[in-house]
Chain A
């Protein structure tokens, strides 16, 4: 069964460093998302991406964040200068078509720890 994959599973970085989290969505999917989950809290929407551009972003997704689909398979989230409060699980999701009623498939997540 096709699945969303994410690498690395765990990333440890120093405050102020740049990190890139990588995702490989399901191959024929067209809509891509990043969510984050601070330990013990709910999953929060960060950004959605379609047709090589951002469709929507949340207040969390400030100028320190960027997304890119550099080739036909990868979807990346970059945090330019990490802060302690960026420590969280980051989930990538994809779906075949947009709009309501179509399942988003989630990856296993990357645990980011900022020291």
Chain B
């Protein structure tokens, strides 16, 4: 069935360092890949997304890359700040979202 794998499950970085989270997906029909940030007690909030006709997208400190051939996509956060600490989920699909297992990012001051 449809599946999205996400790594790592936890990631600790020093403030100012970069963080990279990677996902792979199984359904080759997937053509939309959003990333969500979830803070404690809140619902997922979209932070960036990419469509299958694009290889890379950047929004300030956040960038996402997509390799459709390999079915990989990644989230890159540069110059991390303590407020970036949260759980990040990747997702994929055409309509309903299939979520990855999540990455708990901790940014230490």
A-side residues, CB < 8 A to B, are: 4, 31, 33, 35, 41-45, 48, 55-56, 58, 91, 98-101, 103-109
Contact = CB atoms under 8 A, between A and B. Distances in A.
B24 to A, nearest CB: 14
Given A42-B89, A56-B95, 5 more contacts: A35-B97, A41-B101, A42-B100, A56-B96, A105-B46
Interface stretch (B37-45, B61-69, B73-81): B37-45
Contacts of A105: 46
Interface residues of B, number: 26
A103 B79 CA distance: 26
Contact of B99 (A31, A43, A98, A109): A43
B94 interface: yes
B46 A103 contact: yes
